[in-house]
Amino acid sequence: MPAHRVHPDVGVLSDCLEVPGIGYIPVNAFVLHAAQPVVVDTGLGLPDRDFLTALSAELDPADVRWIWLTHPDRDHTGGIFALLEAAPRARVVTTFIGAGIMSSERPLPMERLYLLNPGQSLDVGDRTLTAFRPPLFDNPATVGFFDDRTGACFSSDCFGGPMPSAELAQGPDARHLAADGLREAQVLWASVDSPWVETADPNKFRHSWQLLRERAPELVLSTHLPAAPGITGPMIDTLSAVAGLAPFVGPDQAALEQMLARFEPSSLP
């Protein structure tokens, strides 16, 4: 998980997963260097990932005061319990639903929770973080936030897009992919991650982007996209029009068997 800064106050811990037929999906966690440091999500839960080591490139894990869990899917929670052990003063910012979903596998300690709903704010010493529900999401507990000091928007899965290479997926800037390619990637991700948009009312869905239009964040930080500075308007224009989009349909069993057959060793003569 390479670490890099996209803003003096924001570090990115970059990772990705290759998904055949889709591309390389970025999987980012973030460090907000506030007076009370905030870690946003905790990466993949795969056995070859070491979230604490990656985090240590940005700050001492013991200094973390807040762990903002944008939602409790496994690509966001990989290092959360290790971090709770390493950061004894840290509390997990989530929702009632988020804490409930986590409890179905391994409960979060109740005394370490801080429940925050969309529209509410958290004071982290030198800035205020205001929670909001992103217009695109795949989990009912999803809550992103706006940082009033940097002007950045932490958007969870919203604005995501698979990249054509691991290098781009773990890179520092979504603009390294051509604008047409970025639009296609984000529309594809909407069809994969938010299949409910097929039945969304177009007018209501367009209105759900109004808060982002009004805030107009200069920097968008999505879990599943490289950092996106200076292109918020065009991205909103693309994604606010996806109501009615047909959901992605993955390979079926016959297609899987064909793919596996390509990798079977050749028979010996």
pLDDT on residue 101: 96
- Under the banding of pLDDT at 50, 70 and 90, the label for residue 260 is confident
Average pLDDT over residues 231-241: 98
| Domain layout of the chain by residue ranges | 3-262
- Of 119, 118, 120, 122, nearest to 92 by C-alpha is 122
pLDDT on residue 57: 94
Average pLDDT over residues 197-216: 98
CATH for 3-262, among 1.10.3470.10, 3.30.420.10, 3.90.199.10, 3.60.15.10?
A: 3.60.15.10
pLDDT score of 26 more than 60: yes
pLDDT score of 266 more than 70: no
CA distances from 143 to 44, 88, 187, 264 (A): 18, 24, 21, 44
Mean pLDDT of the chain: 95
pLDDT tens string 120-150: 999 999 999 999 999 999 999 999 999 999 9
Q: Give me the sheet containing 38-40, strands edge to edge.
A: 3-7, 10-13, 29-32, 38-40, 66-68, 91-94, 113-115
pLDDT score of 269 more than 50: no
pLDDT on residue 267: 45
